Amino acid sequence: MASEHEACYVISVAAKLLGVHVQTLRYYERAGLVQPSRSQGNIRLYSEKDIQKLKQIQRLINDLGVNLAGAEVIIRMSERISQLEERIRRLEAENERLIIALGG
């Protein structure tokens, strides 16, 4: 099974999955909202993670009425929160290991 980071879909398939025009995906890429990987032939390849991120952008714009700039801020903040949560988990695990090592 492919991981969520593996490139799976060319741009036309990704656009069809999302119900958007190919140009919309190119625009989102230019805006820095998504960075699909590239094949050796320089073809955009979207991973499942990219598709999920694009669906989140669509929900923000279409369902909540957020503009593209606002969606970008929300996406970036969500990613930063996830990074910080992961860091907290690692620090808590390290703290637990240290407590055990010190006999606590």
Given a cut of 80, is residue 104 above it in pLDDT? no
Vertex 34: Cα angle to 47 and 28 (nearest 5): 125
What pLDDT does residue 89 have? 98
pLDDT digits (tens, 9 = 90+) for 31-78: 889 999 998 899 999 999 999 999 999 999 999 999 999 999 999 999
**Whole-prediction pTM:** 0.76
Given a cut of 90, is residue 97 above it in pLDDT? yes
Domains and CATH numbers, the chain: 7-101 (1.10.1660.10)
- The CA distance from 70 to 79, in Å, is 14
**pLDDT band at residue 100 under the 50/70/90 scheme:** very high
Q: Which amino acid is at 1?
A: M
Count other Cβ atoms within 10 Å, centred on residue 60: 19
